Amino acid sequence: MAEKKFSAKEATEFFIKQIKEKDEEVKAFLEVFEESALEEAKRVDEILEKRENFGVLTGVPMAVKDNILIKGKEATGGSKILKGHRAEYDATVIKKLKESKVVFLGRTNMDEFAMGSSTENSAWQVTHNPNDLERVPGGTSGGSAAAVAAEMAMAALGSDTGGSIRQPASFCGVVGLKPTYGAVSRFGLIAAASSFDQIGLLTKTAEDAAIIFSAIAGKDELDSTNSVSDFGGEFEKDDFERVKSFTLGIPKELLDKDGKFKGLDLETAVEIEKSKKRLEDLGIKFKEVSMPFIEYALPCYYIMIFAEESSNLARFDGLRYGASTKENKSLFDLYLENKSAGFGEEVKRRIILGTFVLSSGYYDAYYGKAEKVRRLIKKDFKNVFSSVDAIFMPTAPTVAYKIGEKIIDPLAMYMGDIFTVTASVAGLPAVSLPTEKKENRKKLPVGFQIIGKPFHEGEILKVGMAYEK
């Protein structure tokens, strides 16, 4: 754009054309901001003409998950209960990207209130995987991942509670970054589980993720859980000498007797071994480490998020936001009708389970015990990081499964998060990287995961950039 090879308006028009041509089948977008996007692109071109106040993100067309607020735009969190709800302010990440003069193309589909693993739980539509339209894109940020994979956006914002960015990145063949908990402000994110949720990115490359992360990270007084990250994105693109001396840990508790990751389908197992070999070819070493409590990460995670989700959803009663019945009824009947009609099956399931684990007589046995396990898992990571630079593992145990294949079996769906929840429980940064370049259409995408030390996003992204080269 700076060299005037094309204008911001032309770039925006290209992606809008892509959306019109492809999204009828993919169904990644819930709304396209065609008019406002073209207006913003026109302003960007005026800035470029003056050659002042523009940076690397100026004019970049991006998509935004439906649970991140953009002032004046509808934000439903994928739920009927918020139908018609328009944001009255910008999320902090949106404010920062607006300052960088990003062009927002539209809002993407998601599992309702970020609850699910396939984007089949959206109240509005089922998103399809661009690599195979009969398969899911993953979830809950499936719309964002599909939009990037289908060339309908340069990048997209998502949110990751227990793998909601990384798993769809793996299924769709793109890069997915979950930052350290607290590295990016959650102000303006519709909450699912507040001690886990983190806004992150879906991009084409690790370098793109580093560029956008550096724009959205940092301290925000509007989010009390927010911390100052030591990563500002200031590093040379080709400086990979540090990466070549890395040692990546592999938790032995996740391995079978042959030293291979347990529970993988054949396609995933083959690709994970290939990616491990490619990293070794870069000079990176691997070391088995012991993390005795990692096997409890999945039950610990689900007990805690059910509890937090049921608490966070109490505010959605149909009276203050979104849709509501107009009939004159008692308050109890009004709540019952609004919530029964407004929430989907998966959300209702989690409300019931979350209320149970927080109830009198069960709190200590479930939520209280899960909190203790969480501390032990954090300690496991702290111990192994004294001898390794980061952790290596698969992102998901399988490739993308067919639409409808697991929706009737919630437990099978939850088991798909077995590798991603570990970083979430410990609040650590993690990036999912495609094992092969996206141009290879013969096979379904597979992703591997690098989990880093707190606020070491720069290091794990540099591993990704070295791998991509």
Catalytic residues: 65, 164
What DSSP designation does 191 have? P
Q: Report in angstroms the alpha-carbon separations of 457 from 183, 211, 213, 314.
A: 9, 11, 9, 34
Cα 23 from Cα 216, distance rounded (Å) = 27
Burial of 410 per CB tally in 10 Å (0-12, 13-18, 19+): middle
Overall size of the chain counted in residues: 469
Please answer whether residues 327 and 214 qualify as being in contact, where contact means their C-beta atoms are separated by less than 8 angstroms.
Answer: no
At residue 292, the 3 state secondary structure works out as coil
Burial (CB < 10 A; 0-12, 13-18, 19+), residue 142, is buried
From CA 136, how far away is CA 128, in angstroms rounded? 5
399/271 Cα distance (integer angstroms): 10
Give the amino acid at 339. K
Q: What per-residue string of b and e applies to 263-295 under the rule 16 or more CB within 10 Å gives b? A: ebeeebbebbeebbeebeeeebeeeebebebbe
Task: Supply 322's token pair.
Answer: 């979104």
Distance of alpha carbon 229 from alpha carbon 118, whole angstroms: 31
368: nearest Cα among 309, 295, 307: 307
Q: Which residue has the tokens 């539509």?
A: 125
**430 pairs with which residues across the strands?**
178, 451
Rounding to the nearest 10 degrees, give the CA dihedral for residues 140, 144, 145, 149. 160
Q: Please, how many CA atoms are within 13 Å of residue 241, restricted to the half-sphere of its CB?
A: 3
- Rounded to a whole number of angstroms, the CA Rg of the chain reads 21
Distance CA 142, CA 238 (A): 31
Q: Can you tell me the distance from the alpha carbon of 93 to that of 364, in angstroms, rounded to the nearest whole number?
A: 36
Distance CA 96, CA 216 (A): 6
Tokens describing residue 88: 């009255």
Terminal-to-terminal C-alpha distance of the chain? 24
If you search the block for the tokens 């040692």, which residue do you land on? 247
3-class DSSP assignment, residue 437: coil
